[in-house]
Structure 1
Amino acid sequence: MWAPLPLCLLSALLATGSALQCEVCQSKAGSCSGPLQPCGPSEGTCVAAVAEFNLEANSFSYAAKSCLEPESCEPGPFTLTFTRNITVRANIACCDTDGCNAGAIPVPPVSPVPNGRQCPSCFAAGADRCRDMEPLACTGAEDHCVDIAGTLTLGSVTLTKAAAGCGSPGACVKRVGVKKYAQGVVDVLSRGECYPAPWAGGEL
């Protein structure tokens, strides 16, 4: 009766000690740092995410680090440009060793150089659809057209929007449904389309 008990306790301790540990933090800045925390049984990945938003006259950044389910992680940078120079610059990095998401990751640059392509564009805060579209000349690596609608949650901040414009290929991770980038960073889209941008002068 006594023999199995120490073995069970030892197994439990070993199982607890073997859990992946990730740095966990959130900040309304370009980077953040926090304590290492053990991940849940399904969370086999550490993630670091950073984004910069330019919404007409308002600009802000957001950074988050956490544990994440491996199937939720789609790493890589992406940029989006909507009408009225509303831009999103984001980067996501994933790894699978203890504390590997420490340190800062850069946001991708946005090039002002036209690439010869164009997309229909709009931005409507608090709406589920844009009423008017206007052509937007794409620049740099943004050679795809993106059309999205839904709600983005960044910690305690929630933004409901409908938007369309130019995006880099990495922006095609935005799809209909729930997309979790990190703990507290969730995109819920009712519409999400991404396709290669046509050359300027063709039909949109």
Structure 2
Amino acid sequence: MNALLTGVIFLIAFTATGKSIDCVTCYSTDGTDCSGEVTTCDEDQTFCRTLTSEIRKDGVASNQVYKYCGGDEQPHWIYREESLTTFFQLEIQNCETDKCNEEPAQLTPGANTPNGVKCMHCFQDYSEDCNSEETIECIGDMNKCLFVSGNVCNNGELAFDGTSFNACAVRHCTNIASADLHPFYGEVATGIIQKIEISEGINDA
């Protein structure tokens, strides 16, 4: 799962036509900041954008960041998912003035309080499905249950980095309301991901 942001970056594409604002463009696999050139964006790229990830695995956190010119009107967006051992957050932030993305990214913290929703919790390597009697208690805005299966794992973790895929399946908590909001929903069409499902889970409230 440590290469998840790398996969996102390779899925991001934009076109070139003329001048708009100036944005910092850079990428780092170590931390929430990076340094790079100031780029004059194309005329249809009206935002400076920062894409940041945080992965906490067994209590150890790591971050990646990508700063670039943004051309669509995608709003401030946060994706979260959590298992019993790993938390992942992907956040996109926009701003609209010259070099406004030069400061270090500030990830929006999520609430740590249980929300009354429980999800099945499982991970199965080299499989298209997983089932378990074990559950995870969801927290904050993660009030949905996520199921993902496909050729998306490497060394027992979700990878999405374009290398050494093997089949696996996972179930845990997420904050998205529908499958098409998953960062890698587009990979369903390519066959890399076989299935993404969002369910209501078990609500104890």
- Normalising by structure 1, we get a TM-score of 0.65
Task: Return closer, same or farther for 1:153/1:39 CA change in 2, 3 Å cut-off.
Answer: farther
Cα deviation 1:22-69 (Å, max 9, x = unaligned): 211111212223221133565443210111112347642111111234
Partner of 2:175 in structure 1? Answer: 168
Q: Give the corresponding residue for 2:135.
A: 135
- 1:177 is displaced (CA, Å) by 0.9
1:94-109 equivalence runs, <5 A: 94-109=94-109
Structure (1 or 2) with the greater strand fraction: 1
- Partners of 2:108 and 2:174 lie apart in 1 by 12
SS in 1 for 2:104: coil
- Alpha-carbon distance in 2 for matches of 1:171, 1:51: 21
Query: What is the number of residues matched between the two proteins?
Result: 174
Identity %: 20
- Residue 158 of structure 1, CA deviation: 8.4
Contact 1:48 1:105 in 2 (8 A): yes
When the two structures are superposed, what TM-score results if normalisation uses the length of structure 2?
Answer: 0.65
Three-state SS of the structure 1 residue aligned to 2:173 is strand
| Cα distance between partner residues in 2 of 1:46 and 1:157 | 30
Which shows bigger deviation, 161-170 or 110-119?
Answer: 161-170
Contact 2:22/2:38 (<8 A) preserved: yes
| Inter-partner Cα distance in structure 2 for 1:163 and 1:43 | 36
- 1:11-26 pair list within 5 angstroms: 16=18, 18-26=19-27
The 5 Å alignment of 1:19-38 reads 19-28=20-29, 29-38=31-40
Greater radius of gyration (CA): 1
Q: Tell me, what secondary structure is at the counterpart of 2:203?
A: coil
Gaps of 5+ in 2: 1-16, 153-158
Alignment of 1:1-204 (within 5 A): 16=18, 18-28=19-29, 29-40=31-42, 43-56=45-58, 59-70=61-72, 73-82=74-83, 84-124=84-124, 127=126, 129-133=128-132, 134-149=134-149, 151=152, 153=160, 162-169=169-176, 173-174=181-182, 176-178=185-187, 189-200=193-204
